[in-house]
Amino acid sequence: MLDIESLTRQYGSEAAVDGLSAQLARGELTVLIGRSGAGKTTLLRCLDGLEQPNEGRITVDDAPLAATDAALVFQSGALVDGKSAVGNVLDGALGRKPAWRELIGWHSPDEKRVAIERLHDVGLAGYADRPVEALSGGQQQRVGIARALQQQPDVLLADEPVASLDPETGRSVLAVLARAVSEHDLFGLVSLHQPGLASNVADHYLGMAGGQLVLDRPAAQIDSDDIERVYANG
């Protein structure tokens, strides 16, 4: 299990995450919901190592979660224009390589093979050499997922990955995320403003309000009233 224990992240006197405790199960996609300002992004950044909590800890099977164990898919995709799809995927693992390789962007044949496999995993077989600026928004987000998988993470995170997509495309991207979490046996956590988009792929829901956890329930036990109560808080 991935355990989040009494996690607090403060900015001055304000707690963006306030004593939050939760568990994630391996191979499951957990959907994180709540109003803007609820603390969802801060929680994801703490899990990814981009923010350091003031209190609490995050562990996987009782061992501290390292920053290199998690990969984050951003809302905008954060891809590099002028590079191909496979070039962007390959960039995902640069932070794990020696500094000289990062400086010149050198990749081994095995890394290139794995990157192409990752594109295949997200339904983009045959798109490896396509410039990312020529791809649709949904395809770009799939490249972002493939790039995260290239990091070989234990935890796959996504911060509002479908916010700028139409509902149909958003559902397809979330299905790709859910499949990646299941097939690679990862801990998956995705924040959403439109929880209904994940109704067919979510295994569990967490809800936040005012930096605190106000919902923690398997997807099979969730109804619309539960969702409404989360957004009524805070």
By the 10 Å C-beta count (0-12 exposed, 13-18 middle, 19+ buried), 25 is classed as: middle
**Low-confidence winner among 66-75, 92-101, 217-226 (lowest mean pLDDT):** 92-101
| pLDDT attached to residue 109 | 81
Kindly indicate the confidence band of residue 135, based on its pLDDT and cuts at 50, 70 and 90.
Answer: very high
Residue 199 CB neighbours (<10 A):
13
- Percent of the chain surpassing pLDDT 90: 77
Amino acid symbol at 54: N
Tens digits of per-residue pLDDT, 1-11? 999 999 999 99
Query: Per-residue pLDDT for 28 more than 90?
Result: yes
Average pLDDT for the chain: 90
What the block records as the tokens of 75 is 């809302």
First to last CA, the chain: 29
| pLDDT attached to residue 194 | 87
Q: What is the mean pLDDT of residues 105-130?
A: 87
| pLDDT attached to residue 100 | 45
By the 10 Å C-beta count (0-12 exposed, 13-18 middle, 19+ buried), 189 is classed as: buried
Residue with the larger pLDDT of the pair 164 and 207 = 207
pTM assigned to the model: 0.90
| pLDDT attached to residue 97 | 55
The angle formed by the CA atoms of residues 68, 136 and 104, to the nearest 5 degrees, is 45
Q: Domains of the chain, with CATH numbers?
A: 1-65+187-234 (3.40.50.300)
In a 3-state reduction of DSSP, which class is residue 77?
coil
**What phi, psi does 92 have (nearest 5°)?**
-60, -30
Unique residue bearing structure tokens 């439109």: 194
Distance CA(185)–CA(180), nearest Å, equals 8
